[in-house]
Structure 1
Amino acid sequence: MSQQTSDWNENSGSHIKIAYAGLELKELILTGLANFNIIANDTIAELEEYLGEQSILSIPDIILIEVDNEGKCFKLVEEIKKSFLLTGVIIVLLSTHKDKTYKQTAMKLRVHDYYSQPFAIDDLRERLNFLVTFKLIKPRLLELSKEVDTTYKMPWGKRAIDLVISGSMLFFLSPVFLAVAIAIRLDSKGPIFYTSKRVGTGYKVFNFYKFRSMRTDADQLLAKLSTENNQYATEAGASKAAFVKIKNDPRITKLGNFLRNSSLDELPQLYNILIGDMSVVGNRPLPVYEAEMLTSNEWSMRFLGPAGLTGLWQVSKRGKEDMSERERKKLDNFYAQKYSIWLDLRIIAGTIPALFQKEKV
């Protein structure tokens, strides 16, 4: 076993211990991540031996593995997942070429990230720093909401508008709620409502409600579809996408297409607004797996503004093929910094024509 430890310094990451396995990207990793404390192993077998010799006081923070053609890396990940000692260790896989099958396997194993060449070593460095901070120091985003430097306080005027709109719409649309619920029950097996964890203002995690528009196995199919059909993954030069939006999503039921195109599937979020989880207008609350991808200070700004049912993204770019990930982030950041009651009213006025979209995304 050939081990090499990078120099310890005072830069960010110097306290983070990485156990690495691989030869093809070894020079890039040791040079580009020189501010980390790296234990380099030439083979997966050597890494496995090294991990077997560690105690609870010496285990690494991150395990970084090059993907091999025999799939030994995936077997090692499975063993690491079963180990009580290595519970909570961050696992990131690196590949020298793009292979959808390998990436799908990695996602099913729930590794923390997967990079295929070409990728920017600066992006990897930032991602590893983020993962250590948020997976180890603050393992739950719920805890993060108590630690953010800037907190968002709902203006009383905005909250009053939210209560009036959500309360009145829940009352007057109750017949529509009943009709949609009956239609979903008749259309396909499964629950009427779909509940997921979303990340909103100040990284607050809450239960997010929608009318079910997908098959009951939709979540299990997401890993595969997010690598093959993701609208945002088609950006030139993008190694990975923060947002996931499936084009021509095969998980959607026949009734679900109508509910989505008419935005009726979003109606249960009026309850989220009523109880204060989100606002009528704001940045869209994100699934946890998307929120974890927005790691830099530049993009985390979106979480320092209100979360909302509709916003700049929905009224200006939603569903358009030329919608880039960066454009969406910029719209979210702009609203977080510039929102006002007058801007909210303009967005609400522009929401109605945006409800009926033609693109199937």
Structure 2
Amino acid sequence: MTNHIATEWNENAGSHTQIAYAGLALKDLVAAELNSYFQITYNDNLQKLEEYLGNQSILTLPEIILLEVDENGACFDFVKQIKSNPLFNGIIIVLMSTNNDKSLKLKAMQLKVHDFYIYPFSMSDLRERLNFLVKFKLIKPKLVDISQDVDTTYRMPVGKRFMDLFISGCMILGLSPIMLIVVIAIKLGSKGPVIYKSKRVGTGYKVFDFYKFRSMRTDADKLLIELSTQNQYANEDGGTKAAFVKIKDDPRVTKLGKFLRNSSLDELPQLFNILLGDMSLVGNRPLPVYEAEMLTSNEWSMRFLGPAGLTGLWQITKRGKADMSERERKKLDNFYAQNYSFWLDWKILIRTVPAVFQKEKV
């Protein structure tokens, strides 16, 4: 049996959730571990699953389709078919594979399935993920919608906001000559915009435009999925997704970009994010939308109930150390969300200065 985990407070949440399953290789394991938590209809192959779905009405469709990846890759064509049918709009699709072939994961990510697991994996993790995919979809299908409700639970303290405005304003004025030099260097160094803008998720799942000096090639976002599945760059273990995606020796970074990152100069445009109120000087780093979507369980969503920030606890606690695990980062984010204060912010700000000059960046 799979060991119980701390986040199993919702272990009965999926008792009414219907899952349509297809495959034989992992069928017995799934039945032994998940039957008591979900209502699962088993189909030996995709053809039988297709027949089963064809006999359902809009009121009896399953919430989840759980597929084993077959040898000839027919499951991917099946996923395309499902996604092209308006009747199945909103159904959660999760793939499982017994083959640790990164190209399979790449195909799954390109099809935007909800998750992809490579066996062996923790059935507790799978159960937790399925429960929250369903719950997340039922409450609010999009992070943009969620922010309208969740954001009301956090209010920036007046003192913290004043500190943000005063310090960021002074820094923009004092560092403006350096920022001008960086702008010119980027323009002369490579084609493309000077400022890189991306959607990030901050306080209360609020989505905003996040600014940095461009340190990568202009096609960096398109290369991310491909690089994250290659052995020499991927930093994930087995089939579980890492919420904080970091590419080792990232080939997308330009020569100038490497210097900007090592000196943290690429972060300077975020001072304008702070002025706009999207972020604070100190808080939990805002995440890309695809990473934030992986942190919607009760254990890790706490990080979004605190302020988003330019620097934070995990940046100063173990910045640059190889033993900084993803779980440790999440715990530090949760700790800050629950315990942030004026004096803790000043302590983090003071310790950020030497952390910036450490050789290895995180």
What's the counterpart of residue 233 of structure 1? 236
- Residue of structure 1 equivalent to 2:333: 332
8 Å CA contact 1:232–1:325 kept in 2: the answer is: no
Aligned position for 2:351: 350
**Match for residue 272 of structure 2?**
271
Q: Aligned residue for 1:155?
A: 157
Are residue 75 (structure 1) and residue 57 (structure 2) matched?
no
Higher alpha-carbon deviation: 48-57 or 30-39:
48-57
Q: Report the equivalent of 2:87.
A: 85
Question: How far apart, in 1, do the equivalents of 2:273 and 2:226 lie?
Answer: 30
Map 1:303-318 onto structure 2 (within 5 A). 303-318=304-319
Equivalent residue number for residue 291 of structure 2: 290
**Gaps spanning 5+ residues in structure 1: where?**
1-9
Distance 1:359 1:289, change over 3 A: same
CA shift for structure 1 position 229: 5.3
- Report the 3-state secondary structure (helix = DSSP H, G, I; strand = E; otherwise coil) of the residue aligned with 1:40: strand
Cα drift, residue 357 of structure 1 = 3.5
Counterpart of 2:170, as a letter, is: S
TM-score, structure 1 as length reference: 0.91
Q: 1:98 aligns with which of 97, 100, 110?
A: 100
Paired position in structure 2 for 1:300: 301
Give the letter aligned to residue 119 of structure 2: Q
Give every structure 1 segment of 4 or more consecutive aligned residues whose post-TM-superposition deviation is greater than 4 Å: 229-232
How far off is 1:230 after superposition?
6.0
Q: Is structure 2 residue 139 aligned with structure 1 residue 137? A: yes
2:233–2:250 contact (8 Å) kept in structure 1: no
Counterpart position of 1:222: 224
Distance across 2 between alignment mates of 1:11 and 1:60? 17
Write the distance in 2 (CA, Å) between the matches of 1:186 and 1:356: 26
Q: Which runs of 5+ in 2 are unaligned?
A: 1-10
Number of residue equivalences: 350
What is the match of residue 31 of structure 2? 30
**Residue 232 of structure 1, CA deviation:** 5.1
- C-alpha distance 268-306 of structure 1, shift in aligned 2 (>3 A): same
Partner amino acid for 1:30?
A
Query: For residues 233 and 344 of structure 2, what CA distance do their matches in structure 1 show?
Result: 30
Superposition deviation, residue 360 in structure 1: 5.8
Look up the SS of the partner of 1:214 in the other structure.
coil
Measured after TM superposition, the shift of residue 143 of structure 1 is 2.1
CA distance in structure 1 between the aligned counterparts of 2:63 and 2:246, rounded to whole angstroms? 31
CA shift for structure 1 position 81: 2.1
1:251 aligns to 2:255 (yes or no): no
Q: How far, CA to CA, are the matches of 2:360 and 2:309 in structure 1?
A: 22
Quote the Cα distance in structure 2 between the aligned partners of 1:238 and 1:334.
27
CA distance in 1: counterparts of 2:107 and 2:266, whole angstroms: 31
Preserved contact between residue 249 and residue 360 of structure 1 (Cα < 8 Å): no
CA-atom RMSD, angstroms?
2.1
With over 3 angstroms needed to count, the CA separation of the structure-2 counterparts of 1:107 and 1:256, relative to structure 1, is: same
| TM alignment of 1:152-231, pairs within 5 A | 152-227=154-229, 228=231
- Following the alignment from structure 2 to structure 1, what is the Cα–Cα distance between the partners of residues 360 and 100? 28
- Letter aligned with residue 196 of structure 1: S
Q: Which digits, 9 at most, give the CA deviation of each residue in 1:120-157, with x for residues without a partner?
A: 11111110111112234311112223444982221111
Contact 2:151 2:204 (C-alpha < 8 Å) held by counterparts: no
Identity of aligned residues (%): 69
| 1:227-250 deviation digits (Å, cap 9, x = unpaired) | 33567525xx77332211111111
Name the SS for the 1:173 alignment partner. helix
Residue 66 of structure 2 aligns to a residue in which SS?
strand
**Helix, strand or coil for the counterpart of 2:284?**
coil
2:8 maps to none
What TM-score does the superposition give when structure 2 sets the normalisation length? Answer: 0.91
Q: 1:42-53 maps to which residues of 2 (within 5 A)?
A: 42-53=44-55
Deviation string, structure 1 residues 169-195 (Cα, Å, up to 9, x no partner): 222222222221221122112211111
Residue of structure 2 in register with 1:4 after alignment = none
Aligned to 1:3: none
| CA–CA distance in structure 2, aligned partners of residues 221 and 143 of structure 1 | 28
Structure 1 stretch displaced more, 154-163 or 96-105: 96-105
More displaced 10-residue stretch of structure 1: 90-99 or 294-303: 294-303
Counterpart CA distance in 1 for 2:275 and 2:175 is 14
- Aligned counterpart, 2:121: 119
- Separation (CA, whole Å) in 2 of partners of 1:230 and 1:284: 22
**Conservation of the 8 A alpha-carbon contact between 1:118 and 1:239:** no
Q: Distance in 2 between matches of 1:282 and 1:143?
A: 23
Query: Structure 1 55/192 Cα, relative in aligned 2: closer, same or farther at 3 Å?
Result: farther
In structure 1, what is the Cα distance between the partners aligned to 2:326 and 2:227?
17
Q: CA deviation at 1:31?
A: 2.9
CA distance in 2 between counterparts of 1:250 and 1:50 reads: 46
